Amino acid sequence: MKNLLIITTNYAGCECGGPECNCIQNTGVYLEEFAVPYLVFQKSDVNTVVASPKGGLSPVDEKSMSCSNPEEWDECIKVLRETKKLSDINPEEFDGVYFPGGHGPMFDLAKCQETANLVSDFYNKGKLVSAVCHGPAGLINAKTPEGHSILKGKRVTCFTDEEEGIVKLKELVPFLLETKMRELGSNFVTEKPWSEHVEVDGNLITGQNQNSALLIAEKILEFF
């Protein structure tokens, strides 16, 4: 049995609430990107542990909540309420890491040094490093032993700048993830907006958007 660490965000959005606030006020983890892979793993021989930088609640992005969501996703919401604190995790116990998206990771995982250190360690040891949509924000500060970005020269994808424009959040995010990944020297691959799209390059697996949640779960199982 393989052990997979799932790292989620603690960021729920800006709380200032002022009329002039130009921030994302309600965000978190996009439920589909967590629930679909999580349930796939639960039905396989992959053991999962869910953690976040602060532990406790990993808020669900309100935009991903719908009465049409499968009932089994309700159990996944409960899991997200009680994540383990990342500092309490022993990385040596895991064979890989997965980052679901939602805009939350852009605000906390992107600047979490503990996350960057863990990803660097996993990648450099040949362990699985995977992320979907905005989840790759957790990868941008990870380094090779030579000090290069782990994304340099790698075929990757994420929520594209075009998709960010479509949802009208380009001006509200702290940076554009596709642009950042290109700046880090990646071989970035984009498909049409909302395409089911996953890139696999060695032990690095990335997906473009929420519609890629099932496919990335399948690719993770293939890796294991």
Q: How far is CA 120 from CA 22, 31, 138, 149, 160, in A?
A: 33, 26, 11, 9, 24
Q: What is the pLDDT of residue 19?
A: 56
pLDDT at 22 over 90: no
Q: What is the mean pLDDT of residues 62-83?
A: 93
What mean pLDDT value characterizes the chain? 95
Would you place residue 25 in the very low, low, confident or very high pLDDT band (cuts 50, 70, 90)?
confident
The 10s digit of each residue's pLDDT in 1-18 is 999 999 999 998 876 655
Q: How many structural domains compose the chain?
A: 1
Q: What is the pLDDT of residue 196?
A: 98
Which CATH number goes with the domain that contains 152? 3.40.50.880
Q: Are 173 and 103 in contact (CB under 8 A)?
A: yes
Range of the domain at 50: 2-223
pLDDT at 134 over 90: yes
